[in-house]
Structure formats: structure tokens, C-alpha cells
Structure 1
Amino acid sequence: MNHLKKLRLEKGLTQLSLQMQTGIEQSLISKYESGERVPPTETLMLLADFFHTSMDYIMERTEERKPYPRTGGAEPPMR
């Protein structure tokens, strides 16, 4: 089973209810789950935040669900 579908079902959501909570069209969610389309980066970020996981987990590049720690950006070098 695809990770996106697994996450959605674990939350007890239908594709339509996921659309209502994220703004992502149900037809696109269906295509992402079936592998017919790949979500763009912005959509992956939205889904990863919504499900509290990483984009890599959603894209099935890892089995690790925990999101990566966020950094505040690179610190300028001390002089």
C-alpha cells in the first residue's frame, strides 16, 4: 500500500475529507495514491506537515516516519 494512502486511512480520512482539510483536489489525491501522478514539492510539504512526517516517507524513499528536524537556516559565520 502506498504511504500516502496508508497515512490517510490511519487518520480515518476519505479522499474527500483530506481535500477539505488540505485544499488538495480529491482527484489529485486519487492520482497520487495510485501512482498516476507525482505531487509537486509544495504539495509534498503540505502533506508532510499535515501528517507530521517527512516528504521522503510520503514518496516511499524511507520507512522512517519521523519528520526531519527543522533548522532555522544557515547561521552566518562568526568573525
Structure 2
Amino acid sequence: MIYNKIRELREDRDWTQQHVADLLFINRRTYSAYENGINAMSPEILIKLSEIYQTSVDYLLGLTEKIEPYPRKGK
């Protein structure tokens, strides 16, 4: 699966792959492999990216076009 949304969100913010990789505490090459669909992302990485980009995991996966995050329980 190619995660086009994470590339779009990163580029919209003018962030480098290295910057996002640093936020995730991973290697840039690993992050690049996620964007290009070479490696699948773990649920933990998807959740962290949704927090970084302030969106939902469903949006990152292309399951919805609604970019706003879902309300969190208890907030």
C-alpha cells in the first residue's frame, strides 16, 4: 500500500522526510519506504503520524476524505 496522504501532508508543511523520521524516532530510509509502499506501517506508527498531522488514521489510510481527527474519549 502506498500512503499518498502522508506524503501530501508532509509536503503541505514543507517538511523533509528526515524531519518526520526524527519526530517518529526512526531512520529516514525507513520513513521513505513507508511513503513509497515498500514497508507497511505498524499501527503504532500510523497512530503517531495521525497525532503529528492532527488527523485520523482513517484519513491516512485513504478511508475518508475528512481530514479532521475524531474526537478523543475523555476530552
Cα RMSD after superposing both structures: 1.5
- The residue aligned with 1:60 is 62
Question: Which residue identity lines up with residue 68 of structure 2 in the other structure?
Answer: K
Which consecutive segments of 4 or more residues in structure 1 shift more than 2 A? none
Q: In structure 2, list runs of 5 or more residues that go unmatched.
A: none
In the superposition, the TM-score normalised over structure 2's length comes to 0.85
Q: Deviations over 1:25-65 (max 9, x none)?
A: 21121111111222111111110000000111111111111
> Quick one: distance in 1 between partners of 2:58 and 2:40?
13
Q: In structure 1, list runs of 5 or more residues that go unmatched.
A: 73-79
In the superposition, the TM-score normalised over structure 1's length comes to 0.81
Tell me which of 20, 40, 45 is aligned to 1:43.
Answer: 45
**Percent of pairs identical after alignment?**
33
| Structure of greater Rg | 1
> Quick one: distance in 1 between partners of 2:22 and 2:54?
18
Name the structure, 1 or 2, with higher relative contact order (CA <8 Å, separation 6+): 2
